[in-house]
Structure 1
Amino acid sequence: MTAPEQPTDRAAPPTAGAGALDSLEEHLLGERPTLTQAEVADQAGISLDAARELWHLLGFAHAEPEERAFTQGDVRALKLTQDLTDLGLLTEDRQDGMVRTLGRSFARLAEWQVGLLAETALDTGIDPTDGILELADEVTPRVEELQTFVWRRHVLNAASRMLAVADAGDRTSDRAVCFVDIVGYTSRSRTLTDRELVTWLEAFETAALDTVIEHNGRIIKNIGDELLIVADTAEDAAAIAMELTRRGSDEDDDFPDVRAGVAYGEVVTRLGDVFGPVVNIAARLTSVARPGTVLIDKGMYAALTGAAGDDADTSDTEGPERDESPYRFRRVRRVSVKGYSRLHPWALQPRD
Structure 2
Amino acid sequence: MTGPDGETPARYTRDELIAELGLSPEYAEKVWNAFGFARRSTPDKIFSDADVAALRLFADSESTMPQEAQVATARAIGQTMSRLADWQADQLRELDRNPDVPWSINQMAGALGQIQQLIWRRHLALTLERDVERDTDERLDLVVGFADIVGYTSLSRRIALEELEELLESFEEDTFEIVATNGGHVVKTLGDAVMFTCHDPASAAAIAIALHELSAGERIPPLRAGMARGRVLSRLGDVFGEPVNIAARLAGSAHPGTTLVDEALGDSLSDDDRFYLKSVPTLSVRGYKRLRARALELNRRLDES
User: Counterpart of 1:44 in structure 2: which amino acid?
Assistant: L
d(CA) in 2 for partners of 1:170, 1:61:
31
The answer to whether the aligner puts 1:269 opposite 2:234 as a matched pair is yes
Describe the superposition over 1:245-266 as per-residue Cα deviations: whole angstroms up to 9, x where unpaired.
1332x2x352331010010111
Describe the superposition over 1:262-301 as per-residue Cα deviations: whole angstroms up to 9, x where unpaired.
1011111111111100011000100110000000001101
TM-score where L is the length of structure 1: 0.76
The answer to whether the aligner puts 1:201 opposite 2:168 as a matched pair is yes
- Label 1:345 to 1:78 Cα distance change in 2 as closer, same or farther (>3 A): farther
- Label 1:121 to 1:143 Cα distance change in 2 as closer, same or farther (>3 A): closer
- Find the counterpart in structure 2 of residue 49 from structure 1: 26
Contact 1:40 1:70 in 2 (8 A): no
d(CA) in 2 for partners of 1:69, 1:63:
12
d(CA) in 2 for partners of 1:70, 1:53:
20
Q: Deviation at 1:199?
A: 2.6
Contact 1:259 1:294 in 2 (8 A): yes
Match of 1:343 among 291, 298, 303: 291
Contact 1:327 1:349 in 2 (8 A): yes
Match of 1:135 among 94, 105, 113: 105
- Label 1:125 to 1:33 Cα distance change in 2 as closer, same or farther (>3 A): farther
Contact 2:92 2:108 in 1 (8 A): no
- Find the counterpart in structure 2 of residue 86 from structure 1: 60
Match of 1:120 among 67, 84, 95: 95
- Find the counterpart in structure 2 of residue 247 from structure 1: 214
Describe the superposition over 1:34-56 as per-residue Cα deviations: whole angstroms up to 9, x where unpaired.
73x43332233212222211110
- Find the counterpart in structure 1 of residue 129 from structure 2: 160
Contact 2:167 2:219 in 1 (8 A): no
Contact 1:262 1:282 in 2 (8 A): yes
d(CA) in 1 for partners of 2:70, 2:162:
36
SS at match of 1:101: helix
d(CA) in 1 for partners of 2:195, 2:211:
13
d(CA) in 2 for partners of 1:263, 1:175:
8
Describe the superposition over 1:304-328 as per-residue Cα deviations: whole angstroms up to 9, x where unpaired.
12xxxxxxxxxxxxxxxx4x51111
- Label 1:243 to 1:46 Cα distance change in 2 as closer, same or farther (>3 A): same
Contact 1:284 1:338 in 2 (8 A): yes
CA RMSD after TM alignment: 2.6
d(CA) in 2 for partners of 1:241, 1:93:
37
Match of 1:327 among 271, 275, 278: 275
Q: Deviation at 1:70?
A: 4.1
Describe the superposition over 1:70-109 as per-residue Cα deviations: whole angstroms up to 9, x where unpaired.
4333x75465334134345532232112101111111111
Describe the superposition over 1:95-129 as per-residue Cα deviations: whole angstroms up to 9, x where unpaired.
1121011111111111111101222344x368xxx
- Label 1:275 to 1:31 Cα distance change in 2 as closer, same or farther (>3 A): same
Q: How many residues align?
A: 294
The one of the two structures with greater contact order (alpha-carbon pairs below 8 A, sep at least 6) is: 2
Query: Is there any run of 5+ residues in structure 1 with no aligned partner, and where?
Result: 1-26, 306-321
Match of 2:36 among 50, 59, 73: 59
Query: Sequence identity of aligned pairs in percent?
Result: 32
Q: Deviation at 1:193?
A: 3.7
Q: Deviation at 1:213?
A: 1.5
- Find the counterpart in structure 2 of residue 232 from structure 1: 199
d(CA) in 1 for partners of 2:87, 2:259:
32
SS at match of 2:104: helix
d(CA) in 1 for partners of 2:197, 2:95:
34
- Find the counterpart in structure 1 of residue 86 from structure 2: 111
Q: Deviation at 1:32?
A: 7.5
d(CA) in 2 for partners of 1:268, 1:304:
23
d(CA) in 1 for partners of 2:137, 2:35:
28
- Label 1:211 to 1:68 Cα distance change in 2 as closer, same or farther (>3 A): same
d(CA) in 1 for partners of 2:292, 2:75:
37
Q: Between 334-343 and 276-285, report the one with greater CA deviation.
A: 334-343
d(CA) in 2 for partners of 1:170, 1:105:
22
d(CA) in 2 for partners of 1:86, 1:34:
19
d(CA) in 2 for partners of 1:125, 1:189:
32
